[in-house]
Amino acid sequence: MSGWCSTLCCVTDFGFSDEAPERSPRAKGRWRPTVAGAAFTVGVLALLGLLLWAWVARSHADDLAAWDDLETTFEVMDRSLTPLGHGESPPCHEETDGVITRTYPPSTGPQAAAVVGYLTQLGWTAQKGSGTQPSTSTSAPSDAAAVLAVLTKDSGGRDLTVVVSGPGLDRLVGSVAGRSPGSTIGCLGR
C-alpha cells in the first residue's frame, strides 16, 4: 500500500500523512495569459489609442480653424492699413499659441484709434488697455509699448485676442499683436 495518495491524505511507508502534495514552485502565483485575454487587451489598447488620436487631431483642427480666422482678419486689415513689418507663427510652431504681429512706420502709420475702429467694424469687441490716455509729449519712449486696447473675438469656442500698442489712441500705432490660443494636447506629435 505504500505510495497511494489522494488530495486529502497520503499513505506512506510510515503511515498516513495529512499533507497535500506540493505544487511546483514555478506555478505558484503565476498568471497564465490566454489567447482571448491577450486579444481583448490588445483591442482595448487599440481603441484607447484611436480615441486619443482622434481627440488630439480634433483639438489641433480647432486650433488651426481659429488661427485661420485670425490670419484672415490681419490679411484684410493689411489691405487697408499697410504695415512696415510683420511676423506670423501658427499654433505648435514656436509655441502652443499662434501669434501674428504687425508694426507700422513711425511717421506714416495709422492712428491707434483707426486700427481699433477698423477691427471693431470687423466684429471684434474692444476693451480699453492700460495706457488708454493719449500722451501729451511728442516723444515718449516709455509710452511706446503701452497697451491702448485689447480686442477679443470668439472663433469656434476659441477666444482670439488682438492687442493694440502705442503712445496714445490719438497718436500713430506702434504695433498690433494677435494671439490665437492653442492647446497643448493638440500639439502632441507636431
Domain locations in the chain as residue ranges: 37-136+143-179
Quick one: which H or E segment has residue 178?
A: strand 175-180
Give the residue, 2 or 98, on which the prediction is more confident: 98
pLDDT digit string (tens) for 13-26? Answer: 666 566 655 655 55
Contact 159, 181 (CB under 8 A): yes
Sorted by sequence, the CB contacts under 8 Å of residue 8 that are 6+ apart come out as 18, 20
Q: According to the model, what pLDDT value does residue 139 have?
A: 42
Q: What is the Cα–Cα distance from 15 to 81, expressed in whole angstroms? A: 107
Residue 189 has pLDDT above 80, yes or no: no
Residue 72 grid cell: 484672415
Q: According to the model, what pLDDT value does residue 161 have?
A: 92
Q: Is the pTM of this model over 0.85?
A: no
Cβ atoms within 10 Å, residue 136: 9
Q: What average pLDDT is seen over the chain?
A: 77
Residue 154 grid cell: 470668439
Residue 28 has pLDDT above 60, yes or no: no
Give the residue, 18 or 3, on which the prediction is more confident: 18
Q: According to the model, what pLDDT value does residue 11 have?
A: 60
pLDDT digit string (tens) for 83-139? Answer: 777 778 777 777 888 899 888 887 888 888 889 999 999 889 887 655 444 443 444
Could you tell me if residue 182 is left (phi over 0), alpha (psi between -120 and 50 degrees) or otherwise beta? Answer: beta
Q: According to the model, what pLDDT value does residue 3 have?
A: 52
Give the residue, 156 or 71, on which the prediction is more confident: 71
Residue 52 grid cell: 486619443
Q: Percentage of the chain surpassing pLDDT 70?
A: 72
Q: According to the model, what pLDDT value does residue 10 have?
A: 56
- Taking CA atoms, 131 is separated from 135, 173, 180, in Å, by 9, 12, 23
Sorted by sequence, the CB contacts under 8 Å of residue 101 that are 6+ apart come out as 85, 86, 87, 88, 175, 176, 177, 178
Q: What is the Cα–Cα distance from 67 to 51, expressed in whole angstroms? A: 24
Mean pLDDT over residues 40-51, rounded? 89
Helix or strand or coil: residue 61? helix
Q: According to the model, what pLDDT value does residue 45 have?
A: 92
Q: According to the model, what pLDDT value does residue 5 have?
A: 52
Q: Which of 1-5, 67-71, 125-129 has the highest mean pLDDT?
A: 67-71
- Taking CA atoms, 147 is separated from 103, 116, 132, 176, in Å, by 14, 12, 7, 10
